[in-house]
Structure 1
């Protein structure tokens, strides 16, 4: 199953899969969720609900797309925390990752449930000012990929439709 980072949904809404020009992406997410191919976590939903836009409305209308943090996820908190603290991250980066970001929960959830984490972030093991999802995934043996890889791996097709004649 694919576990979707908030940046995938935000970027889709803001750019290439905007609700008004690419409804097929959002229909695919519904299909993927219904067929146990994609989901995300409640902390991601909380990030999306901070805005008062179309994506926040979508999140409110798709409550079951967002999974709660469960015992399996919690069991991965200690090893993920230990890894982050063993690196040379700044105190601010550690605080953000360990207390304020959905990213921590995503990586722990993916590790607990053997999900592939989908994000736009790229690995940068030398980074010190921010803990990046791909680096944490590598440390926790979690597979990660970007949106396009996810869509291709599921053979998704977002077909073009001509606008209705006016």
Structure 2
């Protein structure tokens, strides 16, 4: 399974439960999983994180994502399929979105289109299902479901890939 991570996964992990400077094992593990091909981040989503605060010394996540080794490990090396992207927007959100609505959606359709591009992919997002939301307000899990893309939250992702703070010592006995 290839896990495609949303920007909110990294941002929330750093801000809430795995700060880069307090739980470095998580970030080492994430980069390692990326280098092994289990975790990737599409360029458009990477740009969401990178477009954050410009003062890298104040934002450790920004500095971490800019590190050449981390970037190489996590960046998905493919281009989005424009037909899939159009399909996600038209069928996952609405076929007649205004320019303002498209701006509000942001880069989520890219993430979902990459999820559709091949079998065995799972979108990882912090967003939770809210099926009553419509048009530009739809949440990633609901659009994934509509498009037939597997989706999970960060905790299921961490569990399925076996994250633990002593991950380098081998499997838990």
TM over 0.5: yes
Q: TM-score range by the shorter chain?
A: 0.7 to 0.9
Query: How high is the TM-score relative to the length of structure 2?
Result: 0.80
Q: Which runs of 5+ in 1 are unaligned?
A: 161-166
1:78 counterpart residue number: 86
1:145 counterpart residue number: 152
CA distance in 1, matches of 2:126, 2:95: 25
Secondary structure at the counterpart of residue 67 of structure 1 = coil
Q: CA deviation at 1:140?
A: 1.0
The C-alpha deviation readout for 1:109-163, integer Å capped at 9, x for no partner, is 1111331000111111211361211111011100011111011111222239xxx
CA distance in 2, matches of 1:133, 1:59: 23
CA distance in 1, matches of 2:36, 2:42: 17
Q: Is the 8 A contact 1:85 1:94 kept in 2?
A: no
Q: Does 1:103 align with 2:112?
A: no
Q: CA deviation at 1:43?
A: 1.2
Secondary structure at the counterpart of residue 162 of structure 2 = coil
Query: How high is the TM-score relative to the length of structure 1?
Result: 0.83
RMSD: 2.2
Go from structure 1 to structure 2 and tell me whether the alpha carbon gap of 1:70 and 1:93 turns closer, same or farther (over 3 Å shift). same
Q: Does 1:63 align with 2:64?
A: no
Aligned residues: 155
Secondary structure at the counterpart of residue 158 of structure 1 = coil
1:36 counterpart residue number: 37
CA distance in 2, matches of 1:90, 1:79: 16
Q: Is the 8 A contact 2:131 2:142 kept in 1?
A: yes
Q: Which runs of 5+ in 2 are unaligned?
A: 168-173
Secondary structure at the counterpart of residue 113 of structure 1 = coil
Q: Is the 8 A contact 1:121 1:134 kept in 2?
A: yes
Moved over 6 A (4+): none
Q: Is the 8 A contact 1:119 1:147 kept in 2?
A: yes
